[in-house]
Amino acid sequence: MSVFAAPGAYDRAITVFSPDGRLFQVEYALETVNRGATILGIASSEGIVLGAEEKIESKLQDESFVWKLFEVDEHLGAAVVGLGSDARILIDQARVYAQSNRLMYDEPIDIEVVAKRVGDIKQLYTQHAGVRPFGVSIIFGGIDKTGNRLFATDPSGSIRGWKALAVGVGKETAEGILKTDYNEKMDIEAATQLAVKALIKAQEARGEQPRVKIVVIPATTKKMKVLTEQEIEKYMKSS
């Protein structure tokens, strides 16, 4: 039986709980996320690694265009899964928060603060009639005064801190690898290797040609860097 069986009228009203305590529109948004191309984040002892599967839908598509990994601030990156249009709006808002913090306090914003503020926006859209939830989950990762931090938000607006996680259609395969191979003391090189391995295995498990995008934020520079195709290819050969 489908998890969404016989919702009745409850699936048409975002503000109404079903008799068994469910908000169906939020669950539908979560299903959109679960069907999206896999993203992941890893917090290592030397920095943060964010990765994503990048699907090419046409031979005419510009392969250099990255649409699942974003720079929020130089010390803070984000990986998104779900509706790209919803993600773009939330990433723009996160960038406003980050720059406002620099202007007001003359310091980079904490990663947790950004995640909570974006989570607050998402939660608002689960509580009012005439709107729908944001169909996107976002992994925020970066370096702040508290250390190397990784947080994830989902369409319900919930926020959780992580050491490593994967979200999307390949979550089960990728997280299985992360649970087996992840070590809090691993350096950023090992974390990057692990990220590439997990994403490749997730794609291969579905019979897809591996295609991966990776960004790293080293604790030494606290500045986000997008790895080139050549750099990623080196990790892919070692996986």
Residue of 239, 160, 163, 173 whose CA lies nearest to 207: 173
Largest CA distance in the chain: 55
Output the DSSP codes for 160-216. Answer: EE-SEEEESTTHHHHHHHHHHH--TT--HHHHHHHHHHHHHHHHHHTTPPP-EEEEE
Coil/strand/helix, residue 153: strand
Global pTM exceeds 0.85: yes
C-alpha–C-alpha distance, residues 88 and 189, integer Å: 29
**In Å, how far are 7, 144, 153, 186, 187 from 45, measured between CA atoms?**
46, 13, 23, 6, 6
Q: Are strands 69-73 and 225-226 parallel, antiparallel or unpaired?
A: unpaired
CATH architecture of structural domain 37-238: 4-Layer Sandwich (3.60)
CB atoms within 10 A of CB 65: 7
C-alpha–C-alpha distance, residues 145 and 13, integer Å: 42
**Per-residue pLDDT, 171:** 97
Q: Which amino acid is at 113?
A: V
Q: For every one of its 239 residues, what pLDDT tens digit does the chain have, with 9 covering 90 and above?
A: 445 445 556 677 777 888 888 888 999 999 999 999 999 999 999 999 999 998 877 788 887 777 899 999 999 999 999 999 999 999 999 999 999 999 999 999 999 999 999 999 999 999 988 889 999 999 999 999 999 999 999 999 999 999 999 999 999 999 999 999 999 999 999 999 999 999 999 999 999 989 999 999 999 999 999 999 999 999 998 87
Give the domain ranges of the chain: 37-238
C-alpha–C-alpha distance, residues 11 and 15, integer Å: 10
pLDDT tens for 58-108 read 788 887 777 899 999 999 999 999 999 999 999 999 999 999 999 999 999
